[in-house]
Structure 1
């Protein structure tokens, strides 16, 4: 007869660790965001983005041809700073 005992706490910790690892991998997959990805990630419309922070000189953006590109890591950092600043307004 085989008996298996599972430590629920260890299983939960392992699942959390693996989920965090997968989320980190997913974040690093994209080097650049386009306007559609920026809107998806922020849950904001293009007009709202333009009204709120698009023209902020600190906002990282590059126009190649007719398309805007945003470096993912720098854009995420800017957005977090910008959001924290909104509390003060």
Structure 2
């Protein structure tokens, strides 16, 4: 005879971890993101994102009505190049 016991809290923890993983994969597959998602992606406040990126004409952005949209892959490429340049210049970013 086989006896199985489950720890409900551990099962819930495993379930939530799996849901988070799948949500992250889904989020990464989104082609366009909005300003809120961009701020979350960069871990920066909206004013900082606006000063450093959105109002920069070289930043890959588009305006649809009143909403800013960004191609996720283009943003990732831009941020990678930008961060390399920042580190080459000493790693300090002034956003005042």
TM-score for the superposition, normalised by structure 1: 0.65
Provide runs of 4+ in structure 1 moved above 6 Å: none
Once superposed, what is the RMSD of the aligned Cα atoms? 2.1
State the Cα distance separating 1:50 from its structure 2 match. Answer: 1.8
How many residues of Structure 1 are paired with residues of Structure 2 in the alignment? 68
Name stretches of at least 5 consecutive residues in structure 2 with no aligned partner: 1-21, 90-96
Name stretches of at least 5 consecutive residues in structure 1 with no aligned partner: 1-21
State the Cα distance separating 1:56 from its structure 2 match. Answer: 2.4
SS of equivalent to 1:59: coil
1:1-89 equivalent positions in 2, closer than 5 A: 25-26=25-26, 28-89=28-89
Larger fraction in helix: 1
